């Protein structure tokens, strides 16, 4: 059922990813103008990720009728397949953000979705099905949902579950999202729909990120007042300055509870770029350009936390182990599960972008 109130009015809040999770949702990739070679390499990678998460919690995968049998072959038996119409497979952005209350009840939020920028700089023209996915998922799970009156994607927000929201100005203030709303109005809406007390605005996301700098590709909240931040020590890298600006902002303020924010630097892989073969395998379209030699927006921060496990993208043999070690030290109680995920990166995101956790 669609509700007419807001989560803040009803006492529901946005829990942290490191709080208990009951299930994780993904959608099956098949767009040939985004996933190379008829999406077959991406499908194998998505299946590996879904199967790994299924060892830890319930997994549901949205799939089209024509892909159902192929997905069933690649996915573990206990992964549930659900036929839902959608336009592309970024469940973080099209799925519901689920809020909870102190009694343990859950409700979903269906944000307005416009393919990361609508007519201004959206990545594809028809996002009608994507915009309905969150409501469909809520119906299938059996929870009521709110329909937010503004554009937002799940990848553009991170929370500590204790009143602090992290986001980027580059994304939320982008002219392709809510051009009629000022920063203060957006902040008021975030407080109404996520029941948070403070928004920490980081200036920009990761270099060359086609989502206009989603926060989940730049940093990850791993505990209250504790974040890992994508980092490079190479002054010639365009990310060098962006990471320093982000760190300065994070360290200059406190969270909603007045705590100083601890920032742990997580090295970037690469730099990584599209190969000729990878770029040639994608069918051309207006919105998504995949050119050989183009810098990939690669980040280890784009991981998923599920019930004391971290599902980490493995992207570069020369830095993977370093990223694992830093995270293991920063998150000592967690099991780090590394999964090769370059095929997801080629489509414009990573493990966090293709998953949406449903809190327990």
Question: pLDDT-derived band of residue 167, with 50, 70 and 90 as boundaries?
Answer: very high
Question: What distance in Å separates the CA atoms of residue 31 and residue 45, rounded to the nearest whole number?
Answer: 15
What pLDDT does residue 73 have? Answer: 98
Q: H helices within the chain, ranges in order? A: 7-10, 40-54, 68-74, 91-94, 118-121, 130-141, 169-172, 183-194, 239-252, 276-280, 320-330, 342-346
Residue 18 gets which letter from DSSP?
A: T
Give CA–CA dist 273/208, Å, rounded: 11
Residue 327, Cα to own-chain centre: how many angstroms?
Answer: 18
Q: The tokens of 191 are what? A: 């407080």
3-state secondary structure labels for all residues of 173-221: CCCCCCCCCCHHHHHHHHHHHHCCCEEEEECCCCCCCCCCCCHHHCEEE
Cα 195–Cα 334–Cα 329 angle in degrees, nearest 5: 105
Indicate the pTM of the whole model.
0.97
CA distance 95 to 354: 10
Residue 290 pLDDT > 90: no
Rounded Cα distance, 44 and 25, in Å? 16
Mean residue pLDDT of the chain comes to 97
Tens digit of pLDDT for each residue in 195-239? 999 999 999 999 999 999 999 999 999 999 999 999 999 999 999
pLDDT at 111: 98
Q: Taking 90 as the threshold, does the pLDDT of residue 151 lie above it?
A: yes
Domain count, the chain: 1
pLDDT of residue 117: 96
Q: CA separation (Å) from 94 to 30, 109, 131, 201?
A: 16, 10, 6, 22
Q: How far is CA 173 from the centre of its chain?
A: 18
Helix residue ranges per DSSP H, 197-319: 239-252, 276-280
Range of the domain at 219: 2-359
- How high is the pLDDT of residue 288? 77
- In this predicted model, what pLDDT tens digit does every residue of 4-18 receive, in sequence order? 999 999 999 999 999
Q: Is 315 exposed, middle or buried (0-12, 13-18, 19+ CB in 10 A)?
A: buried
> What's the CATH number where 311 sits?
3.75.10.10
Q: What is the pLDDT of residues 26-84, one digit of tens each?
A: 999 999 999 999 999 999 999 999 999 999 999 999 999 999 999 999 999 999 999 99
Instruction: Of 2, 360, 10, give the one whose Cα is nearest residue 193.
Output: 10
Is 353 one of the annotated active-site residues of the chain?
Answer: yes
């Amino acid at each position: 059922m669609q509700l007419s109130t807001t989560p803040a009015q009803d006492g529901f809040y946005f829990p942290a990813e490191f709080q208990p999770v009951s299930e994780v949702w993904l959608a099956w990739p098949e767009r040939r103008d985004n996933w190379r070679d008829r999406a077959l390499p991406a499908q194998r990678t998505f299946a590996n990720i879904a199967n790994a998460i299924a060892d830890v919690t319930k997994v549901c995968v949205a799939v089209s009728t024509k892909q159902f049998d192929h997905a069933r072959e690649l996915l573990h038996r206990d992964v549930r397949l659900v036929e839902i119409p959608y336009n592309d497979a970024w469940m973080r952005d099209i799925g519901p953000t689920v809020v909870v209350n102190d009694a343990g009840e859950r409700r979903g939020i269906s944000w307005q979705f416009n393919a990361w920028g609508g007519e201004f700089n959206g990545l594809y023209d028809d996002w009608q099905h994507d915009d309905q996915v969150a409501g469909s998922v809520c119906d299938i799970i059996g929870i009521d949902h709110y329909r937010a009156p503004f554009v937002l994607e799940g990848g553009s927000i991170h929370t500590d579950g204790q009143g602090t929201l992290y986001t980027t100005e580059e994304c939320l203030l982008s002219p392709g999202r809510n051009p009629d709303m000022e920063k203060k109005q957006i902040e008021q809406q975030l407080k109404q729909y996520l029941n948070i007390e403070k928004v920490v605005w980081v200036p920009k996301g990761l270099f060359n990120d086609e989502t206009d700098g989603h926060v989940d590709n730049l940093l990850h909240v791993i505990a209250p007042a504790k974040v890992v931040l994508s980092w490079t020590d190479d002054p010639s890298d365009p990310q060098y300055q962006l990471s320093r600006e982000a760190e300065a902002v994070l360290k200059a303020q406190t969270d909603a509870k007045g705590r100083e924010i601890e920032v742990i630097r997580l090295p970037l892989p690469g730099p990584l770029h599209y190969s000729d073969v990878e770029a040639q395998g994608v069918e051309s379209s207006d919105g998504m350009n995949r050119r050989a030699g183009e810098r990939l927006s690669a980040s280890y921060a784009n991981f998923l936390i599920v019930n004391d496990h971290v599902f980490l993208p493995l992207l570069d043999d020369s830095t993977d182990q370093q990223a694992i070690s830093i995270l293991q030290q920063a998150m000592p109680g967690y099991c780090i599960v590394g999964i090769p995920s370059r095929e997801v990166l080629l489509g414009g995101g990573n493990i966090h972008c293709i998953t949406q956790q449903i809190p327990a």
